Structure 1
Amino acid sequence: MSSSEPRLTVGEKTRVALYVARMAKRSLADGHTGRVYQEDLQRRVDRVIDKAREREERGGGRK
Protein backbone atom coordinates (compact mmCIF):
# COMPACT_ATOMS: atom_id res chain seq x y z
CA MET A 1 0.00 0.00 0.00
CA SER A 2 1.37 3.40 -0.90
CA SER A 3 1.52 6.27 1.56
CA SER A 4 -1.41 8.02 -0.16
CA GLU A 5 -3.77 5.11 0.50
CA PRO A 6 -5.22 4.91 4.00
CA ARG A 7 -5.32 1.84 6.19
CA LEU A 8 -8.81 0.39 6.05
CA THR A 9 -10.71 -1.02 8.99
CA VAL A 10 -12.26 -4.47 8.78
CA GLY A 11 -15.67 -2.95 8.04
CA GLU A 12 -14.26 -0.76 5.28
CA LYS A 13 -12.41 -3.70 3.73
CA THR A 14 -15.63 -5.71 3.81
CA ARG A 15 -17.61 -2.94 2.10
CA VAL A 16 -14.98 -2.50 -0.61
CA ALA A 17 -14.87 -6.26 -1.20
CA LEU A 18 -18.66 -6.35 -1.50
CA TYR A 19 -18.68 -3.53 -4.06
CA VAL A 20 -15.89 -5.15 -6.09
CA ALA A 21 -17.77 -8.46 -6.07
CA ARG A 22 -20.93 -6.69 -7.28
CA MET A 23 -18.91 -5.06 -10.08
CA ALA A 24 -17.58 -8.47 -11.11
CA LYS A 25 -21.08 -9.93 -11.06
CA ARG A 26 -22.38 -7.14 -13.28
CA SER A 27 -19.50 -7.64 -15.68
CA LEU A 28 -20.18 -11.38 -15.94
CA ALA A 29 -23.89 -10.82 -16.45
CA ASP A 30 -23.12 -8.36 -19.23
CA GLY A 31 -21.28 -10.99 -21.22
CA HIS A 32 -18.04 -8.97 -21.33
CA THR A 33 -19.38 -6.44 -23.84
CA GLY A 34 -18.12 -3.56 -21.72
CA ARG A 35 -21.42 -1.70 -21.80
CA VAL A 36 -22.40 -2.31 -18.18
CA TYR A 37 -22.75 0.74 -15.91
CA GLN A 38 -20.51 0.48 -12.86
CA GLU A 39 -19.85 4.12 -12.00
CA ASP A 40 -22.26 3.99 -9.05
CA LEU A 41 -20.30 1.20 -7.39
CA GLN A 42 -16.98 2.85 -8.20
CA ARG A 43 -18.19 6.05 -6.51
CA ARG A 44 -19.14 4.03 -3.42
CA VAL A 45 -15.67 2.48 -3.25
CA ASP A 46 -14.10 5.93 -3.66
CA ARG A 47 -16.32 7.28 -0.89
CA VAL A 48 -15.24 4.52 1.54
CA ILE A 49 -11.58 5.22 0.78
CA ASP A 50 -12.07 8.99 1.13
CA LYS A 51 -13.73 8.56 4.53
CA ALA A 52 -10.88 6.30 5.66
CA ARG A 53 -8.38 8.93 4.53
CA GLU A 54 -10.27 11.63 6.49
CA ARG A 55 -10.35 9.36 9.56
CA GLU A 56 -6.58 8.90 9.40
CA GLU A 57 -5.99 12.63 9.01
CA ARG A 58 -8.05 13.25 12.16
CA GLY A 59 -5.90 10.70 13.96
CA GLY A 60 -8.79 8.31 14.55
CA GLY A 61 -8.76 4.57 14.25
CA ARG A 62 -6.63 1.89 15.83
CA LYS A 63 -2.87 1.99 15.92
Structure 2
Amino acid sequence: MASEPRLTAGEKARVAVLVLRMAKRGIGDDRLVGRVYQGDLQRRIDRIVEKAAKREEQQTKRK
Protein backbone atom coordinates (compact mmCIF):
# COMPACT_ATOMS: atom_id res chain seq x y z
CA MET A 1 0.00 0.00 0.00
CA ALA A 2 1.19 3.51 -0.75
CA SER A 3 2.36 5.81 1.99
CA GLU A 4 -0.13 8.06 3.71
CA PRO A 5 -0.76 11.42 2.02
CA ARG A 6 0.23 14.65 3.71
CA LEU A 7 -2.73 16.20 5.49
CA THR A 8 -3.43 19.90 5.80
CA ALA A 9 -3.91 21.46 9.24
CA GLY A 10 -7.69 21.45 8.76
CA GLU A 11 -7.72 17.79 7.76
CA LYS A 12 -5.56 16.88 10.76
CA ALA A 13 -7.97 18.73 13.04
CA ARG A 14 -11.01 16.97 11.56
CA VAL A 15 -9.35 13.56 11.90
CA ALA A 16 -8.40 14.35 15.51
CA VAL A 17 -11.99 15.29 16.35
CA LEU A 18 -13.29 12.09 14.77
CA VAL A 19 -10.75 9.97 16.69
CA LEU A 20 -11.82 11.67 19.93
CA ARG A 21 -15.46 10.90 19.12
CA MET A 22 -14.51 7.27 18.52
CA ALA A 23 -12.76 7.18 21.90
CA LYS A 24 -15.79 8.72 23.58
CA ARG A 25 -18.03 6.07 22.07
CA GLY A 26 -15.62 3.38 23.22
CA ILE A 27 -15.72 4.69 26.78
CA GLY A 28 -19.53 4.77 26.66
CA ASP A 29 -19.71 1.11 25.62
CA ASP A 30 -21.09 -1.01 28.47
CA ARG A 31 -19.37 -4.19 27.13
CA LEU A 32 -22.45 -6.24 28.05
CA VAL A 33 -24.59 -5.90 24.95
CA GLY A 34 -21.80 -5.60 22.40
CA ARG A 35 -19.42 -3.30 20.72
CA VAL A 36 -20.43 0.22 19.80
CA TYR A 37 -20.62 0.78 16.04
CA GLN A 38 -17.89 3.17 14.88
CA GLY A 39 -17.89 2.39 11.19
CA ASP A 40 -19.54 5.68 10.29
CA LEU A 41 -16.71 7.67 11.86
CA GLN A 42 -14.09 5.40 10.28
CA ARG A 43 -15.64 5.97 6.85
CA ARG A 44 -15.45 9.74 7.39
CA ILE A 45 -11.75 9.45 8.25
CA ASP A 46 -11.19 7.28 5.18
CA ARG A 47 -12.88 9.91 2.98
CA ILE A 48 -10.65 12.66 4.39
CA VAL A 49 -7.53 10.61 3.68
CA GLU A 50 -8.76 9.71 0.18
CA LYS A 51 -9.40 13.38 -0.64
CA ALA A 52 -5.94 14.28 0.64
CA ALA A 53 -4.40 11.59 -1.57
CA LYS A 54 -6.34 12.85 -4.58
CA ARG A 55 -5.29 16.43 -3.88
CA GLU A 56 -1.64 15.39 -3.51
CA GLU A 57 -1.80 13.45 -6.77
CA GLN A 58 -3.21 16.45 -8.61
CA GLN A 59 -0.50 18.70 -7.17
CA THR A 60 2.24 16.36 -8.37
CA LYS A 61 0.75 16.31 -11.88
CA ARG A 62 0.87 20.12 -12.03
CA LYS A 63 4.60 20.23 -11.33
Q: TM tier, shorter chain?
A: 0.7 to 0.9
Q: Whose helix fraction is larger, Structure 1's or Structure 2's? A: 2
Paired position in structure 1 for 2:4: 5
Paired position in structure 2 for 1:43: 43
Q: In 2, Cα distance between the equivalents of 1:20 and 1:8?
A: 15
TM-score scaled by structure 1?
Answer: 0.84
Q: In 1, Cα distance between the equivalents of 2:21 and 2:58?
A: 31
Structure 2 runs not aligned, ≥5 long: none
Q: What do you get for the CA RMSD once the two structures are aligned?
A: 1.8
Paired position in structure 1 for 2:28: 29
Number of residue pairs aligned between Structure 1 and Structure 2:
58
Structure 1 runs not aligned, ≥5 long: none
Deviations 1:6-51 (A, max 9, x none): 00000000000000000000000113x2510000000000000000
Amino-acid identity (%):
63
Greater Cα radius of gyration, structure 1 or 2: 2
Q: In 1, Cα distance between the equivalents of 2:22 and 2:43?
A: 12
Q: In 2, Cα distance between the equivalents of 1:35 and 1:29?
A: 10
| Displaced runs of 4 or more, over 3 A | none
